[in-house]
């Protein structure tokens, strides 16, 4: 399949459609990114790479990192994890507080901020040096020792992170956060600040198209059964209150971030990362979704 040609053709069509999205500015540093950036990278399960546009430029992967955090937490905590976080689509925005009171502090799923804060708490509880151990895990999966946090972005989010602080405090009142709030938030803000290019992101997530097996060394990052579950959670919850719409339009498990990135997985076939910083009202990349919709509709 000549994906390079297909990408160029789709982009030509995409440019004709006005992008009404807006760059995320509630994290001040994200507001400094050029809104017109656009990159795509696709990696097939037999290791063919296809790139388009700004695919080699780093951006803040934000909530996409929640998938890697979940995978590590699931490995460390096992099935007990699901006592503290659900696997149901929330139908609410990513940073919503509303369901937590009636759900007694148990977030609906691990990808809304509340759920990712519980996952962060699990990791802080298990790991000796949480931030170092987590980035080392990401580097191992990515087969790239240079992947790193951006302290600039983590600090920027910390300076305005009142909602996440509210979520963590509220869940602690239900005893679903076990560690110090500041430590959990610091871990969470760093986890969200990881920077990657589309190429790095696509290659990092290829194992999710290969039943959990890391292409670089043929080691299992997680079992086939667990990788099925993580893909299912991405399919149902990866786009918050736009998850149904994304499934309807694109038809693949995926995860978005407010940096404008999206990772999507075609099990058995490929992983694909798209980056376009302008977001729709649900906080997901508007052009990124449209691009993937056009791709999976066409081929």
For residue 171, what are the CA distances in angstroms to 67, 87, 102, 118, 199?
21, 17, 12, 8, 36
Pick the closer one to ligand DON by CB: 95 or 143: 95
Instruction: Return the number of other C-beta atoms located less than 10 Å from residue 101's C-beta.
Output: 11
Work out whether 109 is an interface residue with ligand DON (CB under 6 A). no
Q: Which stretch binds ligand DON (CB under 6 A): 3-11, 121-129, 200-208, 255-263?
A: 255-263
CB of 187 to ligand DON, least distance (A): 12
CB of 270 to ligand DON, least distance (A): 22
Work out whether 63 is an interface residue with ligand DON (CB under 6 A). yes
Strands (E), 122-172: none
Work out whether 95 is an interface residue with ligand DON (CB under 6 A). yes
Question: Using CA atoms, how far apart are residues 66 and 174, in angstroms rounded to an integer?
Answer: 22
Return the residues of window 159-178 that contact ligand DON according to CB under 6 A: 164
Work out whether 60 is an interface residue with ligand DON (CB under 6 A). no
Burial class (CB in 10 A: 0-12, 13-18, 19+), 83: exposed
CB of 189 to ligand DON, least distance (A): 7
Work out whether 233 is an interface residue with ligand DON (CB under 6 A). no
Pick the closer one to ligand DON by CB: 276 or 284: 284
Helix, strand, coil share of the chain (percent; to 5): 50, 15, 35
Pick the closer one to ligand DON by CB: 185 or 213: 185
Work out whether 276 is an interface residue with ligand DON (CB under 6 A). no
Work out whether 283 is an interface residue with ligand DON (CB under 6 A). yes
Work out whether 150 is an interface residue with ligand DON (CB under 6 A). no
CB of 78 to ligand DON, least distance (A): 26
Q: Which stretch binds ligand DON (CB under 6 A): 48-56, 144-152, 206-214, 252-260?
A: 252-260
Instruction: Return the number of other C-beta atoms located less than 10 Å from residue 282's C-beta.
Output: 17
Give the angle subtended at the CA of 147 by the CAs of 247 and 96, to the nearest 5°: 40
The pairing of strands 261-266 and 270-275 is: antiparallel
Closest CA to 202 of 265, 148, 279, 113: 265
CB of 210 to ligand DON, least distance (A): 25
Work out whether 157 is an interface residue with ligand DON (CB under 6 A). yes
Work out whether 92 is an interface residue with ligand DON (CB under 6 A). no
Q: Tell me the two tokens of residue 266.
A: 């075609």
Work out whether 45 is an interface residue with ligand DON (CB under 6 A). no
Work out whether 280 is an interface residue with ligand DON (CB under 6 A). no
* Chain position carrying tokens 């979520």: 167
Question: Using CA atoms, how far apart are residues 135 and 103, in angstroms rounded to an integer?
Answer: 32
CB 139 within 8 A of CB 145: yes
Work out whether 256 is an interface residue with ligand DON (CB under 6 A). yes
Interface residues with ligand DON (CB under 6 A) are 62-63, 94-95, 113, 157, 164, 192, 256-258, 283-284
């Amino acid at each position: 399949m000549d994906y390079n040609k297909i990408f160029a053709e789709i982009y030509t069509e995409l440019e004709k459609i006005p992008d009404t999205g807006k760059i995320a500015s509630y994290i001040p540093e994200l507001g400094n990114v050029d809104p017109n950036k656009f990159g795509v990278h696709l990696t097939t399960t037999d290791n063919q790479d296809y790139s388009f546009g700004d695919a080699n430029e780093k951006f803040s992967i934000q909530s996409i990192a929640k998938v890697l955090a979940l995978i590590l937490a699931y490995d460390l905590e096992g099935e007990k994890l699901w006592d503290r976080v659900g696997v149901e689509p929330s139908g609410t925005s990513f940073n919503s507080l509303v369901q937590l009171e009636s759900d007694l502090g148990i977030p609906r799923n691990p990808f809304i901020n509340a759920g990712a804060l519980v996952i962060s708490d699990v990791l802080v509880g298990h790991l000796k040096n949480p931030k170092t151990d987590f980035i080392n895990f990401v580097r191992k999966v990515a087969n790239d020792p240079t992947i790193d946090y951006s302290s600039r972005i983590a600090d920027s989010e910390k300076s305005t992170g009142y909602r996440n602080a509210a979520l963590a405090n509220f869940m602690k009142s239900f005893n679903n956060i076990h560690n110090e709030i500041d430590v959990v938030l610091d871990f969470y803000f760093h986890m969200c600040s990881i920077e990657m290019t589309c190429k790095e992101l696509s290659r990092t997530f290829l194992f999710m198209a290969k039943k959990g097996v890391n292409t670089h060394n043929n080691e299992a990052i997680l079992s086939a059964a667990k990788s099925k579950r993580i893909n299912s959670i991405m399919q149902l919850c990866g786009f918050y209150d736009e998850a149904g719409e994304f499934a309807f339009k694109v038809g693949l498990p995926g995860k978005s971030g407010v940096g404008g990135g999206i990772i999507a997985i075609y099990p058995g076939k490929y992983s694909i990362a798209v980056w376009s910083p302008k977001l729709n009202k649900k906080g997901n990349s508007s052009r990124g979704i449209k691009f993937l919709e056009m791709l999976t509709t066409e081929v």
